[in-house]
Amino acid sequence: MIKKILEKFSLDIGIDLGTANCLVYVKGKGITMSEPSVVAVNNKTGQILAIGEEARKMVGKTPGHIVATRPLVSGVVSDFDVTEQMLRYFIEKAYEGSFPIHARPRVVIGIPCGVTEVERRAVEDAGKNAGAGKVFLIEEPMAGAIGVRLPIQDAGGNFVVDVGGGTTEVAVISLGGIVISHSLRVAGDKLNEDIINFAEKEYKLLIGERTAEDVKIRIGSACPLEEKAESSIRGRNLVTGLPEEVNVNDADIRKAMEKSVKEIVKTIKDTVEETPPELLADIMSRGIHLLGGGSLLRGLDKLIEEEVKIKTQTGDDPLTAVVRGAGYALEHIGGHTDIFLETKEFEPPK
């Protein structure tokens, strides 16, 4: 009886547990939080100093005993304890201002395709230890497809490409399940790394990850732009050891990212080649749907369309598609339990 009463005050939560950013969807409220997946830790005491945006501001600016780190690598847990602390922070923040007595929430977490059983268990355990009553796992392409309202339960092909921070997930979905999927550990973070390597090789200039990401957002593209764009980057000259500023243009940054972008396109091509002909006919009609922050790279949709010969479009608000899908799955698709991955204590949401 008490459990049923408490469940009325429970706030079920959907979480997009991304390598670069974590987004939180609270049942009945919508998306309440979007924070970088960064945690600042004092190595002397083991104390968590900051999580999310506050921790991101510390990246590259901390003394030796304080480390601002990402506990997720390529979408999977690399530091269990820190991931648990980060999830607890998100769950507790979701409950701010709500009824003081509540049941432990049901939590739906989006994870990459192709993770191992150990990696899956790590996410589930971290969620449980962080305060979740039950943890349901959903693959990110599936959640993203739900988030942009694709007809995933139909007997037809839906082609989804989720370009995140750590991974690019490519999947063909039909009848509520993933028919074919590929997970490529080349995405937004790799493009940043390419720009860092370019600056070092061409200009002997050492720049940080935040600088690389800023220039990628400002002038980065997958195809030539109609109007040329330029930007300045600042860093430390590796020869003189002194600060220096250089100007780069969109062609420079495009060349720096070219190899990684080609890998993403090749993975999409490989997935198309493996797709059954009947589903491919549907996909040619419905097109390829791009999701995730990486899909915002200028001209990426155009390049994919030219290379794969299938119309390609970027979904509405691609950054939030996965978390919207996780929340929608928890709120509205309780009867379709096949969209969730089985866990050690799997129980379909009612």
* pLDDT given for residue 342 in this prediction: 67
* Cα of 82 vs its chain's centroid, Å: 18
Supply the pTM of this predicted model.
0.87
Q: Is residue 273 over pLDDT 80?
A: yes
Structure tokens of 55? Answer: 């921790």
Label residue 347 exposed, middle or buried (CB < 10 Å: 0-12, 13-18, 19+).
exposed
Would 2-143+321-339 and 188-256 be classified into the same CATH topology? no
Reduced to 3 states (helix: H, G, I; strand: E, B; else coil), residue 202 is: helix
Do residues 265 and 297 touch, judged by C-beta distance below 8 A?
A: no
DSSP annotation string for 48-116: EEEETHHHHTTTT---TTEEEE-SEETTEES-HHHHHHHHHHHHHHHTTTS-SS-PPPEEEEEE-TT--
Q: Is residue 86 over pLDDT 80?
A: yes
* pLDDT given for residue 56 in this prediction: 84
Of 161, 176, 141, 185, the C-alpha closest to 310 is 161
Question: What's the CATH code, domain 150-186+260-317?
Answer: 3.30.420.40
Contacts for 37 with CB less than 8 Å, ≥ 6 apart = 17, 18, 19, 20, 21, 22, 70, 71, 72, 86, 165
Question: What's the CATH code, domain 188-256?
Answer: 3.90.640.10
Q: Is residue 21 over pLDDT 80?
A: yes
Specify the higher pLDDT residue, 93 or 100: 93
273 sits in which H/E element: helix 250-274
Q: Is residue 231 over pLDDT 50?
A: yes
How do residues 27-65 score in pLDDT, each as one tens digit?
888 888 888 888 998 888 878 888 888 888 887 777 878
Question: What's the CATH code, domain 2-143+321-339?
Answer: 3.30.420.40
In the predicted model, what is the mean pLDDT of residues 249-255? 95
Q: What are the structural domain ranges in the chain?
A: 2-143+321-339, 150-186+260-317, 188-256
How do residues 143-178 score in pLDDT, each as one tens digit?
999 999 999 888 899 999 999 988 999 999 999 899
